[in-house]
Structure 1
Amino acid sequence: MIHRYWGESIQPKRLPIKAEWVAIAADLIALFQAHQGQTQGQLNQQLQVLEGEDTDYRIKRGLAHILRSSFSTFEPISPLEPPMLRERAFALASKAVPSPAATQSHLQTLADQLSQELERDVIPDEIRQGLYADLKENHILTAFEAPTPEALLHRYNLSQVQGIFYKATQVKLQAYRNDPGEYKLLFRYLKLFRLMAYIEGDADQGFTIEIDGPTSLFKPSTRYGLDMAKLIPAILHVTKWQLTATLVMRDRYTQQLKERRYSLEADCGLVSHYPPGQPYDSMLEESFANRWPHKKTPWQLEREVDLVPIPGSVMIPDFRLVHPDGRTYLLEIVGYWRPEYLRKKFAQVRKAETPNLILAVSERLNLEKAGVKTTDVPAKVVWFKNKLTPKLILDCLEA
């Protein structure tokens, strides 16, 4: 992250979407495209040449990192798992006196053996490439989804801002009166990334959301810091908002920890790469939703359409079930196992006091260890094993 200080506040360095930087981004994209099918080591060598000795090498390196991590697929290419391939190649080599002729001979022998085992032609060059294919620099660039130069610059600017939140102790987000769908999308991402948040307000007036940052934890968590940073592209889908982050950073001169501030508003000019649609929290939910249309039932399944306000938070049930006669039920799927998550989830259900709530609970969960009981929640409870089927829910509704 490249940033500068303004008093007690901090500002990340952003790149203007101008011809100079567009050209640099285009050169980097072209370099990745030209190296498809080559090793990561070969690509890195050319990136170093492109960086040169210019003072902007850190920016070029940052752009290349985004292309490498977000748009590229690197894979080890080898006829066998490299350790197994090395073992077999070295075993053959130990039987002959080292020489170029012997090397070629045992490579050909091994190629013939593997051709029979794998039922395809294996050539000595594949073995040479595969012997150390597990080393990162030998991974092959097998796919590259080229962004536009402008999209790459927008992604860079967003990453500069995201990096700030690794040092956050707290983030206070004020979401003003917006379209209800935008709130739901925002709360879904809060839920998806399992961030610790305190929420006040309502859909008519807006919400104040206080989120604990990674440096507020007893032991700072890199995973939690990544999840915090992932929330920023989601916030950009909300029309009217403003946030303030409290940061703890080490002073570059004294090396002492110092508190800083960072503010961001809806008109910040950042561009989200998240789709505006609604991703599922898990394959469990997605699988359940995909199975529902195959059931011949008058009950309609709707995806997260209700916000249930509870003290200090908002509960967003996974689905709503609507019958033509006017009956409505909310469905919440509990399949995640962490004790703190389970305690929080069941506490939410108790606070919500929603009599038309169905709670689908995995039998794999150790509720006793988490200290929670299904008997003290005002909801219908449905138990499932490996997957939640529509039949289980329909049986509950008909009962």
Structure 2
Amino acid sequence: MLPTELLLFRVKAGLVEPRRLKPTPQNLALAETLIAAFEAHVGKRRCDLDEELRALEAGRQDFKVVRGLAHLLSNLGTFEASGPLEPGTVRSRVFELAQTGVPSRRHTAQVLEQAARSLTAQATGSGRPLNADELLGALYADLPDQQTLVAFEPPAPLELIHRYDLAQAQGTLYRAYELVITARRNEPARYKQLLKYLKFFGLMATVEGDANLGFTLTLDGPASLFGGTTRYGLGMAKFLPALLHVTKWDLSASLKPRRDLAWVDPADTEWSFQLTSEDGYVSHYAPPQEHDSALESGFAERFAKLETPWQLEREVDLVPVPGGVILPDFRLVNGDRSVLVEIVGYWRPEYLRKKFELLRKAGRTDVIVCVSERLNLERAGVNPADFGERLVWFKGVLNPKEVLALAERHAVTET
């Protein structure tokens, strides 16, 4: 993402509009030039790269755009201390030798010579003596500006522009104190990745709605939980690329106005940021896999070989429950009748307790729960009797015929 000082946006009637770069020939050429600069400096120090970047932005009115693109490229590179010696070892030896004698140019030269002799074998392994330049270069090679660009993964120019646009949108969320996402019906099964990233970034969401009206996820931000800190807003910003993998959604964020900018209207008490799935942002997060586990993929493959009027769907709606949300793995549909299928494989006791507690709270009688015999539900504090005849035990392989038999008895008719 981008630091605050590189965020570019405007505010119209309280609505924040982040800066976006059009893929014009000029912008694509700029992106290509910056990418080439990084490629040319692989094996060179960061300070040398920074010097060329300063030359590229000199005299440009859009210098913040150049810096923003360069910042994103630096995140695609690996900077490390290079050279034959570990800088900390060199400093320790040099400072130890420097404690004796009177400081002078001659004394400094003697210290470097002694240190080079004592570190030669460790550095080269061949006995070749180190010279003063090598020793001086290793002395502070771990400082940021002295580190070497050892690896760089160049993006395509258009990809860099997409990343820049998304980073500007992410930066808008730094000061968010509430985020509301409306996920509409008939979307691909991307919800699990959303829930995974919510948990990963420490975000808490309240889920409301149903399959007919759509689902609304409300995330509280830093103003309500942590006062003035933007830590929670950073979590929201990191979450945004995951949202882009869901089709048909709307996002509305409430923001605290920036008071450090002279052009901001002091009368503004709240800003708003609006985003939809139609705005054309591109995620750099890997898309979710079709199946989360071998159990699910194996079940789907075996089901596909059956001759049955039932259809197996991965596009399953969120089921909000008190204290959380569940997202069943599959839906079985036969005409206007349907039933949900949840497969529970190999998980820790804490996960099992939470999973089955949410299933119990849901109060849904149209959920078939498939559980591996390897799991000790009683030890996890789960009572299998809570699910009655809707529980399918399996050993190694889940037989779709057993699931279909329960589907015939427990499916509900959609209204």
1:36 matched to 2:42? The reply is yes
Query: Measured at CA, do residues 343 and 46 of structure 1 come closer, stay the same or move farther in structure 2, by a change above 3 Å?
Result: farther
1:89-139, CA deviations, whole angstroms, 9 ceiling, x for partnerless residues?
2334556774376356325403424248x6786743543222112211111
1:216 matched to 2:218? The reply is no
Helix, strand or coil for the counterpart of 1:258? coil
Tell me which amino acid in the other structure corresponds to 1:331.
V
What corresponds to 1:247 in structure 2? 255
For residue 150 of structure 1, the aligned residue among 147, 154, 158 is 158
- Does the Cα contact within 8 Å between 2:162 and 2:281 map onto a contact in 1? yes
Shift of residue 80, structure 1, vs aligned partner: 4.4
Query: Measured at CA, do residues 17 and 196 of structure 1 come closer, stay the same or move farther in structure 2, by a change above 3 Å?
Result: same
1:263 matched to 2:271? The reply is no
Distance 1:290 1:111 in 2: 53
Query: Measured at CA, do residues 198 and 189 of structure 1 come closer, stay the same or move farther in structure 2, by a change above 3 Å?
Result: same
1:230-277, CA deviations, whole angstroms, 9 ceiling, x for partnerless residues?
221122222211111111113445667721111111110211112213
Query: Measured at CA, do residues 110 and 394 of structure 1 come closer, stay the same or move farther in structure 2, by a change above 3 Å?
Result: farther
Shift of residue 190, structure 1, vs aligned partner: 2.6
Distance 1:60 1:204 in 2: 46
1:90 matched to 2:95? The reply is yes
What corresponds to 2:283 in structure 1? 272
1:230 matched to 2:251? The reply is no
- Does the Cα contact within 8 Å between 1:171 and 1:245 map onto a contact in 2? yes
1:59 matched to 2:65? The reply is yes
Shift of residue 214, structure 1, vs aligned partner: 2.9
Query: Measured at CA, do residues 105 and 191 of structure 1 come closer, stay the same or move farther in structure 2, by a change above 3 Å?
Result: closer
- Does the Cα contact within 8 Å between 2:356 and 2:382 map onto a contact in 1? no
What corresponds to 2:187 in structure 1? 179
Tell me which amino acid in the other structure corresponds to 1:188.
K
What corresponds to 1:189 in structure 2? 197
1:294-331, CA deviations, whole angstroms, 9 ceiling, x for partnerless residues?
xxxx9xxxxx99767242542247x89xxxxxxx8633
For residue 330 of structure 1, the aligned residue among 331, 343, 354 is 343
- How many correspondences in the alignment? 353
Shift of residue 229, structure 1, vs aligned partner: 0.8
- Does the Cα contact within 8 Å between 2:84 and 2:123 map onto a contact in 1? no
For residue 46 of structure 1, the aligned residue among 31, 49, 52 is 52
Distance 2:45 2:251 in 1: 42
1:134 matched to 2:134? The reply is no
Distance 2:42 2:290 in 1: 30
Identity %: 38
The runs of 5 or more residues in structure 1 that have no matched partner are 299-303, 321-327, 360-372, 381-392
What corresponds to 1:72 in structure 2? 77
Distance 1:75 1:58 in 2: 26
Distance 1:163 1:143 in 2: 27
Distance 1:18 1:48 in 2: 23
Distance 2:19 2:349 in 1: 39
Tell me which amino acid in the other structure corresponds to 1:22.
L
